Amino acid sequence: MDAYKSEVRDGMIVEWDVPIQMDDGLVLRADIFRPKKKGKYPAILTYGPYGKGLAFQEGYKTAWESMEKNNPDVLAGSSNLYQSWEVVDPEKWVPDGYACIRIDSRGAGRSPGFMDHNNARETKDIHLCIEWAAKQAWSNSNIGMNGISYFASNQWRAAASKPKHLKAICVWEGWNDAYRESHRHGGIACTFRKNWMEIQVKTVQHGVGDNGKRSRVTGETVCGPVTLSKEELAKNVENIWQRVLDQEMNCDWYAERTADLSKVTVPLLSAANWGGQGLHGRGNMEGFVRSASKNKWMEVHGDSHWAPFYTDYGRLLQKKFFDYFLKGKKNGWNKTPPITLQVRSPGEKFVKRHENEWPLARTVWTKLHLDTASMSFLQDPVKEQQSVTYDTTGDGVTFAFPPQKQDVEITGPIALKIFVSSKTNDADIFAVVRVFDPDNKEVTFQGAMDPHTPIAQGWLRASHRKLDKKKSLPYRPWHQHDEKQPLVPGEVYQLDVEIWPTCIVVPKGYSIALTIRGKDYEYDGEAGFLSNTKNPLRGCGPFLHDDETDRPPAVFNTDVTLHMGPKHQAYLLLPVIPKKK
């Protein structure tokens, strides 16, 4: 294979475009940052599609500016020349005795090949890259994986493939279930993937060459030395969005992109975001609970999707974990409680608290029965038959508690049981848990991607209501998504809606509410904006469900009726947390 460039700069040995040959002959390209001092070092490895040579500041301008303004500790102590989206800053890891390996995934950046995200070929590539890294002269043979989102999600699959030298993973806001968490929420297609491909991925596809960005460090083209035509580029990438539209039900395509968590046995740190509705939350919690690892920890934070990873808080947490498992440092990590929660209160306030299990053992599972007479909740079941109808193109219906008489903490997964009828043969349910202040102004948070994220959200297509009774839990229904069961217009059906886990301390005088609607939640205020998203941010970030091919108006623009009464006990199940004694 051809030579690559090696140089010493900013206190590191940096090797550009190191070739890593796969078993099918294709050569991937990696940048490696490692200590100048001779020795054997552990490595932090990442593999992904965003172009290893693209500067964070250029590719994700508004995200960088937000971090620069709100998290100055991220920029301190680094030239920030080597900052790249969702991976570690080598200038803050190499001095502590780590090698940092950034690999452009097959078909992305400076790695040639056919781009097909999260498939079995990609998982095998990562497996082979890990074993390659372990054999390098500078390696102590202990490889860890660390990174956000894409660079986190593929860790579940890589770990399940059991590479011998993968010794620890830090999955920072990374989904696992390709169907339920990434492509189809409750069976409803999420358009994020369509826009993500066009804005974040195809712009750094291998072969964009001279039509793309250049590395501000090397001056080389981020997307490889060749420049291909639009037609050639199109032939080199899988049309993921068309796959999602063509495959409404769960199938082998999604299964191939979902790790078998029972095979994940490596030590792991799973870091989730309370505001990660739509991609960056459920997978971390399910991964923690359902993985087979004997050494596993979970941390849950708030704030943006990217910043906490780079802050001193995030970096020192990651480093303590990796120091223990990759270096064998006796730093007390093994005495760290299994769960670290940043408990959330209005005003972007967080208090760190340790716990021992998830969901919390002391949870008081509280049923709030939906009552249309008061459009509120009752502690006891509704005794008389009731109903309320809403237009799915409007704002839906909202049930709200009177103001709380004392502080109430809600932390954990949420479930909603409702009974519905539709004028058509289907209906999409969007369930939003909300909090309002004493002036009846809604409390929202800086979510993973949206500055005005509600407390919690869940989704379900009524024709996907079939449950897996073995996997379902009272607080977390599990839908099979293997059989479409159309509705008979006017008939009543039971729906069990999974609402993704959350955390909120509802202060005295504030009220809890539930909105059930037929389309995505929208914040009633000024929209936010990120340069790497297509749509204005109105509460759901880029995780919208607005494709008319998947949601034809003739079916989903309809009237839906909610039914309550002795035979239809509709309720919201909340995880209320009593104070520790």
- CA dist., res. 564 & res. 312, Å (int): 50
- CA dist., res. 501 & res. 275, Å (int): 10
**pLDDT score for 4:** 85
3-state SS, residue 537: strand
Tens-digit pLDDT profile for residues 487-536 = 999 999 999 999 999 999 999 999 999 999 999 999 999 999 999 899 99
Q: What percent of the chain has pLDDT over 70?
A: 100
**pLDDT score for 3:** 73
pLDDT at 436 over 80: yes
Tens-digit pLDDT profile for residues 236-248 = 999 999 999 999 9
364-576: CATH topology: Jelly Rolls (2.60.120)
pLDDT at 400 over 60: yes
pLDDT at 374 over 90: yes
- Structural domain boundaries of the chain? 5-336, 364-576
pLDDT at 581 over 90: no
CA dihedral 61, 222, 279, 359 (to 10 degrees): -100
HSE-up of residue 202 (Cα within 13 Å, Cβ side): 20
CA dihedral 368, 371, 376, 377 (to 10 degrees): -20
Tens-digit pLDDT profile for residues 546-575 = 999 999 999 999 999 999 999 999 999 999
Amino acid, single-letter form, for residue 452: H
**In the CATH scheme, what architecture does the domain 5-336 have?**
3-Layer(aba) Sandwich (3.40)
What are the residues whose beta carbons fall under 8 Å from the beta carbon of 252, sequence distance 6 or more? Answer: none
pLDDT at 467 over 80: yes
**pLDDT score for 360:** 98
Whole-angstrom Cα Rg for the chain = 24
**pLDDT score for 16:** 98
Of 281, 510, 276, 532, the closest CA to residue 407 belongs to 510
Burial (CB count <10 Å: 0-12, 13-18, 19+), residue 252: exposed
Tens-digit pLDDT profile for residues 187-241 = 999 999 999 999 999 999 999 999 999 999 999 999 999 999 999 999 999 999 9
**pLDDT score for 1:** 57
For the segment 414-434, the average pLDDT, to the nearest whole number, is 98
For the segment 446-475, the average pLDDT, to the nearest whole number, is 97
Cβ atoms of 134 and 61 closer than 8 Å = no
* Average pLDDT of the chain, as a whole number: 97
Q: Could you tell me the pLDDT band of residue 2, with boundaries at 50, 70 and 90?
A: confident
Tens-digit pLDDT profile for residues 109-123 = 999 999 999 999 999
Of 286, 283, 370, the closest CA to residue 573 belongs to 370
Tens-digit pLDDT profile for residues 43-75 = 999 999 999 999 999 999 999 999 999 999 999
Of 503, 418, 517, 450, the closest CA to residue 188 belongs to 517
Q: Give the rounded distance of the alpha carbon of 11 from its chain centre.
A: 34
DSSP state of 445: B
**pLDDT score for 575:** 98
**pLDDT score for 217:** 96
For the segment 315-329, the average pLDDT, to the nearest whole number, is 98
For the segment 327-344, the average pLDDT, to the nearest whole number, is 98
